[in-house]
């Protein structure tokens, strides 16, 4: 008799302005660990994103459409509030390097103080993807560099279009 896997929900939150292949690498790992992964676009009042929250959600949905256990939403509230509202038990955080690890460890401690019922799991992006952040991806797009190694093709197309619109 097969054991049923408990419905575990994890929230992977970030600005995702835009989604990179490093982010996708983290999602791929998370879907192997959890029954459902919510990719959550976190809207921060001090950040000036290139894309609106709705645009980022739509682009991420398009890029991750082949992963049926992934859903995408956005929030301007605390991530832990959203996680609790959907019954999540875990927060997923992606790591690029040692600097990320220090920052993410502090964030995990803060989240643990606010929400002891939520566990944080940190997943490193694949090594060859660790050097490209969303900011670096935007800089590469502005220079006209090849984007396909660093983000899904649909994201690259949206990014090129937005950079061209801004250049007009």
pLDDT tens string 90-99 = 999 999 888 8
Task: Give the start-to-end residue ranges of the domains of the chain.
Answer: 9-167
Q: Which of 56, 82, 90, 96 is catalytic?
A: 96
Query: Does 160 belong to an annotated binding site?
Result: no
Query: Does 168 belong to an annotated binding site?
Result: no
pLDDT tens string 100-144 = 888 899 999 999 999 999 999 999 989 888 888 999 999 999 999
Report if pTM > 0.85.
yes
Q: Is 48 a catalytic residue?
A: no
Q: What is the percent of the chain with per-residue pLDDT over 70, rounded to a whole number?
A: 96
Q: Which of 23, 36, 90, 158 is catalytic?
A: 23
In this prediction, residue 4 has a pLDDT band, given cuts at 50, 70 and 90, of very low
At residue 114, the pLDDT reads: 95
Q: Which of 25, 38, 56, 134 is catalytic?
A: 134
Query: Does 40 belong to an annotated binding site?
Result: no
pLDDT tens string 11-35 = 999 999 999 999 999 999 999 999 9
In this prediction, residue 6 has a pLDDT band, given cuts at 50, 70 and 90, of low
Q: Is 77 a catalytic residue?
A: no
Which DSSP string corresponds to 30-60? HHHH-SEEEEEEE--TT---SS-HHHHHHHH
Q: Is 82 a catalytic residue?
A: no
Query: Does 88 belong to an annotated binding site?
Result: no
Task: Say if residue 2's pLDDT is above 60.
Answer: no
Q: Which of 47, 48, 143, 168 is catalytic?
A: 47
With the C-alpha atoms ordered 151, 156, 160, 162, is the resulting torsion angle positive or negative?
negative
Query: Does 144 belong to an annotated binding site?
Result: no
Bridge-partner residues for 9, per DSSP? 36
Token duo for residue 105 = 């460890």
Query: Does 72 belong to an annotated binding site?
Result: no
At residue 112, the pLDDT reads: 95
Query: Does 130 belong to an annotated binding site?
Result: yes
At residue 19, the pLDDT reads: 97
DSSP 125: P
How far apart (Å, rounded) are the C-alpha atoms in residues 15 and 102? 19
Q: Is 44 a catalytic residue?
A: no
CATH topology (fold) of 9-167: Rossmann fold (3.40.50)
């Amino acid at each position: 008799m097969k054991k049923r896997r408990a419905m575990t929900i994890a929230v992977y939150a970030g600005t995702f302005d835009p989604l990179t292949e490093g982010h996708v690498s983290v999602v791929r790992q998370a879907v192997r660990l959890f029954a459902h992964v919510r990719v959550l676009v976190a809207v921060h009042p001090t950040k000036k994103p290139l894309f609106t929250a709705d645009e980022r959600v739509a682009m991420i949905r398009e890029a991750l459409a082949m992963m049926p256990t992934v859903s995408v939403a956005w929030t301007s509230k605390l991530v832990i509030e959203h996680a609790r509202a959907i019954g999540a038990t875990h927060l997923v955080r992606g790591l690029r390097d040692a600097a990320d690890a220090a920052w993410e460890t502090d964030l995990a401690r803060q989240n643990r103080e606010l929400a002891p019922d939520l566990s944080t799991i940190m997943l490193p992006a694949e090594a060859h993807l660790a050097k490209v952040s969303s900011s670096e991806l935007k800089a590469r797009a502005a220079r006209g560099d090849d984007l396909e190694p660093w983000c899904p093709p649909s994201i690259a197309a949206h990014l090129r279009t937005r950079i061209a619109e801004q250049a007009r």
